[in-house]
Amino acid sequence: MPKVSFIEKTIYELEGIKVDFVKDGKNLRGDVDLPYNYKGVKMTKNSANVSFLKDKLKKQYCGYDFWIYDGNGNKARGNLLLGNLRDTYLSDEEDVS
C-alpha cells in the first residue's frame, strides 16, 4: 500500500502540479497508507480547470479533499485553467512565450 507522500509525488510527476491530500480540513500526513497509487495514465488537459482535477482526484480517493498549489506555493483557485497553473511552475528562463 503506497504512502500519501508517494502518491502526491506520482501526481506531481504525471500532472506537473503539487497537491496535498486533506481529511477533515487538515493536511494528511505523508506516512499514511492508502490502498492504491494514482491511476492517471495521461496528464489532464490544459483546458481543464483546478475544480475538474479536484473532482477527478475525489472520484479515485473518496472521502478526501485536495489542496492544489501554484508554483509559488499558494492554493490555486478552482476556475484557474491547468495550463495557466502549470505555467506558474516554470522559471523565467524556461518560459519561452
Domains of the chain, by residue range, sit at 4-87
- Residue 97 clears pLDDT 70, i.e. is over it: no
What pTM did the predictor assign?
0.90
User: What does the alpha-carbon distance between residue 86 and residue 54 come to, in Å, rounded to a whole number?
Assistant: 15
pLDDT tens for residues 2-60? 999 999 999 999 999 999 999 999 999 999 999 999 999 999 999 999 999 999 999 99
Quote the cell numbers at residue 1. 500500500
One DSSP character per residue, the chain reads --BHHHHHHHHHHHHS-EEEEEETTEEPPTT-B-SS-----SPPPTTSBHHHHHHHHHHHSTT-EEEEE-TTSPBPPTTSBHHHHHHTTS-TTT---
pLDDT confidence of 91, banded at 50, 70, 90? confident
